[in-house]
Structure 1
């Protein structure tokens, strides 16, 4: 006699399938949003452009995202694990030296910003349009610093100093690598290495309050 599936076993299968469909739709809209933002820019792009690129519907879009600023924020969130891993590598240096700092900045930090240029530009415009996205962005930075596990960031003063250091770097990289403000690359790396080496040394030694 054949096996008859009960309603209780069929329901989880259906729910798992729907969840997979939901995740796939969410990812499709994000990928299409990136393509549209890259082609038209954040301000030139519309929700209709993203929906058309995804071959979807407005109803499906709004089931996943609040608006254009929200999808830009969610797009940037996809880069956060890579950013957190990048900052965590500093804690793995065998020795904190200016040379290690400069190499990390030149190879990994600048590479990260080049790779995620579209996401960074979109979320920066979204922050200007939506204070909630700006608040999310600050939370992301603080969380990335916390996950980096740098010595000295276990207390509030150290965490605040480290967060400000990352915010300063992000502002520079945004204007330099995303908006195209010209800088001498070698000179800028020298200055950044000096600043980061000094600040991380203070964190490790315990900065005065």
Structure 2
């Protein structure tokens, strides 16, 4: 699940300057998260982030294109954790509906709650910047690739079909969790877990079986 990186690229520096660059980059990300959590994405400004970081606009723009870009970079920090979650489901010796339900309950839903600030910010950023939306779709595909052990039978002309099916499964879960756990649309947790477990278990079985012949 490789991040699609920001347009800002660190120029070649000696080791000390490179460390300074990385520390400044991280400071802006940490402060951006705090500002987005306090003010919300729409009300937050680059000036708010710069002030929180005790930095300058020139330094900000040396690292990020704009507010949407820093929101995207902030979300990219969650990608390793997201990848680990999807890999976990491939480690079941033999998937069952009960194991899938437990995975959803213990790992997936917790991820969305823990990273709600990052998720909220990047969803707003997608609406403001088409390039962030494009990056987001690549993140979805990257997550789907973690499920590759389930679609190894999809080869040749069917390989893209298998990946697309897995991507749609991830995208459906991502959209539901955003509206439910981040935006606060009410759902009965146990009922929703039952529905998601049915959908995921059925689709994982179909993916593993390979394309219909």
Normalised by the length of structure 1, the TM-score is 0.91
Unaligned runs of 5+ in 2: 1-12
| SS of match in other structure, 2:74 | helix
8 Å CA contact 1:98–1:194 kept in 2: the answer is yes
Question: Could you say which residue in structure 2 is the equivalent of 1:22?
Answer: 21
8 Å CA contact 1:69–1:129 kept in 2: the answer is yes
Q: How many residue pairs end up in the alignment?
A: 196
8 Å CA contact 1:85–1:148 kept in 2: the answer is no
8 Å CA contact 2:143–2:170 kept in 1: the answer is no
Unaligned runs of 5+ in 1: 1-13
Listed one character per residue, the Cα deviations across residues 132-191 of structure 1 (whole Å, up to 9, x for unaligned) are 000000001101211343321561111000000000000000000000000000000000
How is 1:59-78 mapped onto 2 (pairs within 5 angstroms)? 59-78=58-77
Question: Could you say which residue in structure 2 is the equivalent of 1:189?
Answer: 193
Listed one character per residue, the Cα deviations across residues 46-85 of structure 1 (whole Å, up to 9, x for unaligned) are 0000000000000000000000000000000000000001
Give the whole-Å Cα distance in 2 for the aligned partners of 1:156 and 1:148: 13
Give the whole-Å Cα distance in 1 for the aligned partners of 2:92 and 2:121: 32
8 Å CA contact 2:147–2:166 kept in 1: the answer is no
Give the whole-Å Cα distance in 2 for the aligned partners of 1:182 and 1:99: 24
Cα RMSD, aligned residues only: 1.2
Residue 157 of structure 1 is aligned with which of 136, 145, 161?
A: 161
Which structure has more relative contact order (CA 8 Å, sep 6+)? It is: 2
Question: Could you say which residue in structure 2 is the equivalent of 1:147?
Answer: 146
| SS of match in other structure, 1:30 | helix
Give the whole-Å Cα distance in 1 for the aligned partners of 2:58 and 2:146: 36
How is 1:50-199 mapped onto 2 (pairs within 5 angstroms)? 50-152=49-151, 155-199=159-203
Larger Rg: 1
Normalised by the length of structure 2, the TM-score is 0.90
Give the whole-Å Cα distance in 2 for the aligned partners of 1:108 and 1:184: 18
Give the whole-Å Cα distance in 2 for the aligned partners of 1:34 and 1:207: 43
* Runs ≥4 residues deviating over 2 A: 147-150
